[in-house]
Structure 1
Amino acid sequence: MSPPTRPFTGGRLAQLAVDLTTRERQFLAELATLHVATTAQLGRLVFGDCKPATTARLGQRHAERLVRFNLIQRYANRSRDRKVGAPGYVLTLTEAGWSLSGADTAARQRQRRSWMPSDAFLAHRLAISELYVRLIEQGRDGGPTLREFKAEPDSWRRYLGLGDEPLVAKPDAVVRLVTGGLELSWFVEIDRGTEGQRHIADKCDAYRRFELSGVEQQRFGIFPGVIFIVPTDARRQAVQRVIDRQTAAARGLFVVTTEADMLTALASPIT
């Protein structure tokens, strides 16, 4: 974790609000969307118009500056997905960083000073962040436009079930893409290959219950498809077998794809 710095006063925070550059503000805004990201991911988002080497250098420089300002904090990246030689930190916003980002999200309400993420949690959250980065990069390259992206817990949906029982649908992300004049909406499940078939079936049941509640359709006019993004083709086949055991009415709600094919799948309507 980054070393502690002196507490913020209202005056110091107001001065920082004036002093921050446009890129630094974007750095904070992107981190408010993702909640957790690597320096490299944020560099690709904020400096995507630069050459890769410049993107990495500027991302690192801005991260260090914002750490010194106590607007972001760093944690050691011990996730299993970390590549040898890659930067060893992940970034999150501090309370002051949240204030200057202008965001008011569920993640901010859950912020804890003593937050110590597990390796598995980091791997999962960074996979969500990587999906967002790749969707943004795809749009820059002339692909589908990302209209909305919400990462958990901002993506969660609260509703009342039978007997007014409070329930929560918990997608890892909500994605809305525009392609060819068509808007595609998805609830995204980032699957790391660690959950058993019973757990996947329970998720399918939960989404079907939420669909039948009609709450999402009343609010947005549509119920998104549910896409499982998995690491390997073997895992894709395993999840597909679970989907195939759903009722005929429910099966059409779900799609499973690999990480390698996820951008193509997200840009394709469910048939």
Structure 2
Amino acid sequence: MSITNRYLNQLGPQLTERDLSIIHEVGRFKLLTGGQLERLFFADCSDTSRARNRQAVLRRLTGHRVLARVGQRRVGGAQRGSASYFYTLDVAGQHLAQGTSGRPRRPYSWYEPTAAHFLAVAELYVTLTEGARSGSFALLDFQPEPYCWRTFGHRILKPDAFAQLGVVYPDGRRRKGSFFVEVDRANQYGAKIETKLPQYLAYYQHHRQAQPEQSFPRVVFFAPHEQRMRYLRRLIAERPDARHLFAVGSLDDPLAVLLS
């Protein structure tokens, strides 16, 4: 199928608001599973129709070359059909994303290590989105990389994500928290992780000089298990000048640290 301007002009009016939102989010995160898309965009459907509606929409968008399936379909488990696939923007989706994002991403080339990392960051976003639906907090902002990167001087700070949450307490008090997020999958040791701490400290010093009236986001390292969390805490403990900036949390329960 040739993706021409005529084809895109004919396709555009057929897309729903949900379709455009799916394009926007897949463009931002580069890679999402069908299950993650279901949790983001089909939560308002009944339990019996949720999977059926997700399958129909993703099949249609894939057929229109808006989305593409990449990687290997995962076998087994409760997920079936399109929930088991990984999705990225296809050629038509790349063109359409220019109207839904100021910085659409290039087509994704499958590479297992980066895929797992992209999906882990996306899973954090989906978890926070689901948590916000309860009304106990508001997800005010979530920026994956590279949108969350910060330039200062001739350097670039490259967090995995930036998140901002708002909480309203029963007594009417309001609190807004901002966070730089590092999603640690327990596969980086030594210098690569240790250099993250001085990078954040350098940006913190720059921020204090440039914007002393603004609070600095807390830096949260999320880890997959307790052993890794202990390792990260030891690294932070070795920098007493930075302890107040950093926190360590579990990927299984991110709200425990973000709402603390």
Q: TM-score range by the shorter chain?
A: 0.7 to 0.9
Displacement of 1:249 in angstroms is 2.7
Distance 1:17 1:65 in 2: 13
Pairing 1:71–2:66 present: yes
- Runs of 5+ unmatched residues, structure 1: 1-5, 161-165
Q: Is the 8 A contact 1:76 1:88 kept in 2?
A: no
Q: Is the 8 A contact 1:174 1:186 kept in 2?
A: yes
TM-score by length of 2: 0.88
Q: Is the 8 A contact 2:94 2:104 kept in 1?
A: no
Within 5 Å, give how 1:1-271 maps onto structure 2. 6-77=1-72, 84-85=76-77, 86=79, 87-101=83-97, 102-106=99-103, 108=105, 111-112=106-107, 115-160=108-153, 166-180=154-168, 181-214=174-207, 218=211, 221-246=214-239, 248-268=240-260
Instruction: Please report the RMSD computed on the Cα atoms of aligned residues, expressed in angstroms.
Output: 2.3
Q: 1:105 to 1:236 in 2, by over 3 A?
A: farther
Q: 1:266 to 1:71 in 2, by over 3 A?
A: same
Q: Is the 8 A contact 1:216 1:223 kept in 2?
A: no
Distance 1:236 1:54 in 2: 39
Q: 1:61 to 1:150 in 2, by over 3 A?
A: same
User: Percent of aligned pairs with the same residue?
Assistant: 33
Displacement of 1:257 in angstroms is 0.8
Give 2:88's aligned amino acid.
T
Q: What CA deviation, in whole Å up to 9, does each residue of 1:148-196 have, x standing for no partner?
A: 1111111111221xxxxx2111111110111122111001000000111
TM-score by length of 1: 0.84
Q: What CA deviation, in whole Å up to 9, does each residue of 1:220-259 have, x standing for no partner?
A: 933211100000011101100000001x331110000111
Displacement of 1:54 in angstroms is 2.7
Give 1:213's aligned amino acid.
H
Q: 1:171 to 1:178 in 2, by over 3 A?
A: same
Q: 1:105 to 1:222 in 2, by over 3 A?
A: farther
Distance 1:192 1:118 in 2: 16
Runs (4+) of structure 1 moved beyond 6 Å?
A: none
- Runs of 5+ unmatched residues, structure 2: 169-173
Q: Is the 8 A contact 1:107 1:154 kept in 2?
A: no
Q: 1:242 to 1:28 in 2, by over 3 A?
A: same
Q: 1:138 to 1:217 in 2, by over 3 A?
A: farther
Q: Is the 8 A contact 2:30 2:88 kept in 1?
A: yes
SS at match of 2:187: coil
Distance 1:96 1:67 in 2: 10
Give 1:89's aligned amino acid.
Y
SS at match of 1:57: helix
Q: Is the 8 A contact 2:64 2:92 kept in 1?
A: no
